[in-house]
Amino acid sequence: MSSMSTRVARAQGVGGLEPSGQGLARAGMTARLLAALDVFLSESLRRGPAEELGRSRVLVGANAVLLFCCLVFLLYVPRTAFPVAMGAVGVVCMAGFLASLLLLRRGVSSRLPGLLLCAMLTGGFLAAGLRMPDPHVGTHAICMLIPMLSVYLLGPRTGFFFVVVGAVGVGALLPLWHGVQAGLWIRAVCAALFMLGAWGLSWLILAARDQANQAMVRALRSLRENEGKLTSLLENTEDIVCSVDADGRLIAANPALGEMYRELIGTELAPGDFLFPERAPERLRVRWQQCAAQVMVGKRVRFEASPSKLKRPRVLDISLNPVFDVTGTRVVGMTVFGRDITDRKEAEARLGEMHRSLLDVSRQAGMAEMATGVLHNVGNALNSVNVSVNLLAERLHQSRLPGLKKATDLMASHGADLGAFFTADGRGRQLPSYLQALASQLTGEREELLEEVDTLQKSVEHIKSVVSMQQEHARFAGVVEPLELTALLDDALRLQAVSFERLGIQVKREYTEGTLVKVDRHKLLQILLNLLSNARQALVESGRADKQLTIRVERMVSERLRIAVQDNGVGIAPEDAPRLFTQGFTTKKDGHGFGLHISALAAAEMDAFLSCSSEGRGQGATFTIDLPISGEESRA
């Protein structure tokens, strides 16, 4: 009991409501007065509702006061010239008040005693006014008790009857009975009006009190419901919840803490006990003291702990929060919350292992995607190599070198008479002009072969750069260099020129003035070759006679350029447009769906943006590359 009293006192101190000695004296006096009033009440009234008990106590007090007034009045009557009937009025009133007290002592309701009291008060006041010679008795202050007591004890409606009776008696009956002067009439009417006004004010006070009581009842009901929910929540939760005072003693705890406390300490935890006594493990107690010291200065502490003495290994997430007084400046205790996060820790460990596995799988997938990209880009370049090699073979088969061999053999067979052969023989005379024509043809063939070898060399160089770029990708990004954009476009078109010419594709160039851009040459060339290859296939599939491909370069804003590759081929269906750059998606029968996806990734690495637009099937398509002029990766 002493510990409980200590906790109550502390709780009052926490709320800032610690009573003073004078307050305790007033509370004791009120309690004694109420106990004295309850002596005159029946057991059912004492145990009844609070509102009924309050009216009963007021009835006892009013009866006691009026009895005392009647006794004083009876002692005063013999000393005056009042008629003997005045004494009879006092005796009747005393009998009525005593009867009211008797009904309170034995009854179960305050209704009948209240009616008797109001009737005795109103009737006695009017009777005394009629029998007394003093005409001013009707304006006595006691008349204000009629509205006050009748409204409180009987309610506004029943009380209004007694108030009207009293007001009519004071304001009309008594002045007529005594025949008072005009000035006294005004006082009497004012007294009657004041009684009616007192009834109205009493009714308003009662209504306000009833509303306040109803609001309080609703608040208490809501408080009890919330308290029940909170209690149920704390008792049924598996988390640890408790509150501790400033000395480290337990105030309240839920069953989860009690169960863990028995496992950890080996004893039951009761309110008022230290949360970690001397018998607790030294390491645990020291850590608690360190954390509690931080909380008592207003800090919030959170840590993880896994006590070894528990029946099964558990990891606890413990949070200590300070509790401040009403001023918000002094810490008077703390709340402790503990959550079992063992499952979460195990899940995090499994997630970490899964993450490492995913990294390995992702690395392998990346290597596969890189290999696919290498094959695709090398395949595009090999198409140009194949065209160049076929053209070289065709030109070599059609070469005029055998004619030169025949001419040299003819001159060798006439080596002894070479002069006569050139002058007399008809074949000899034609041989110089033949050699001159043959030399001109061989010179042209040489220039064509050298040009095709140059194209072949560029294709091989592009293959080497693709392989090298993929090999070095893991170590550093591609080299960014300033270059003439139109020259790079011409190189890309030159690699596809032979196939375009054979297929009857007209290439239209719409270039702006030459502009230097800083980009990775091979990444941009890779994208252009993919777009040109796709445009060639789209034009072939369309079967159009007027196959046309347009390459357009234009400045968009001050720091960006746009390259557009436009064809009048088969076009793109609207439902295929959103998936066009997705890996594995293709509209070709023999396609693999890697070209545009790899091109989009390469564009993103250069801070560029690859997009496509088409009005539908059979309407052609336009692929655009928006890239920065400066080459800086700072696209908004």
Q: Where are the domains of the chain?
A: 23-220, 237-340, 364-472, 480-628
Q: Which of 565, 545, 564, 552 is nearest to 505 (CA)?
A: 545
Say which CATH topology domain 237-340 has. Answer: Beta-Lactamase (3.30.450)
CA dist 341 and 350 (Å) reads: 14
Q: What confidence score (pLDDT) does residue 24 get?
A: 65
Given a cut of 50, whether residue 9 has pLDDT beyond it is no
User: Is pLDDT larger for residue 263 or for residue 335?
Assistant: 335
CA dist 491 and 488 (Å) reads: 5
User: Is pLDDT larger for residue 378 or for residue 508?
Assistant: 508
What is the residue type of 398?
Q
List the single range of 80-84, 98-102, 401-405 with lowest mean pLDDT. 80-84
Question: Domain 480-628 belongs to what architecture?
Answer: 2-Layer Sandwich (3.30)
Query: What average pLDDT does the segment 463-491 reach?
Result: 66
Query: What average pLDDT does the segment 442-462 reach?
Result: 77
CA dist 498 and 202 (Å) reads: 111
Query: What average pLDDT does the segment 61-68 reach?
Result: 89
Q: What confidence score (pLDDT) does residue 322 get?
A: 92
pLDDT digits (tens, 9 = 90+) for 137-147: 777 778 888 89
Q: What is the mean pLDDT of the chain?
A: 78
CA dist 352 and 350 (Å) reads: 5
Give the DSSP letter of residue 141. Answer: G
Q: How confident is the model at residue 476 (pLDDT cuts 50, 70, 90)?
A: very low
User: CB-hemisphere CA count at 13 Å for 542?
Assistant: 27
User: Is pLDDT larger for residue 372 or for residue 513?
Assistant: 513
The helix (H) or strand (E) run that includes residue 53 is: helix 50-76
At 25, list the tokens.
């004296």
Region class of 116: left (phi > 0), else alpha (psi between -120 and 50), else beta: alpha
Q: How confident is the model at residue 160 (pLDDT cuts 50, 70, 90)?
A: very high
Number of H helices, E strands in the chain: 19, 12
CA dist 355 and 211 (Å) reads: 64
Given a cut of 70, whether residue 473 has pLDDT beyond it is no
Q: What confidence score (pLDDT) does residue 555 get?
A: 81
At 360, list the tokens.
């390995």
List the single range of 268-277, 295-304, 367-376, 604-613 with lowest mean pLDDT. 367-376
At 548, list the tokens.
């046309």
Give the DSSP letter of residue 479. Answer: P
DSSP character string of 275-291: SS-TTS-HHHHHHHHHH
pLDDT digits (tens, 9 = 90+) for 11-48: 334 334 444 556 667 777 888 888 888 888 888 888 88
Q: How confident is the model at residue 369 (pLDDT cuts 50, 70, 90)?
A: very low
Query: What average pLDDT does the segment 405-431 reach?
Result: 75
The residues, any chain, with a CB within 8 Å of residue 19's CB and separated by 6 or more, are 12, 27
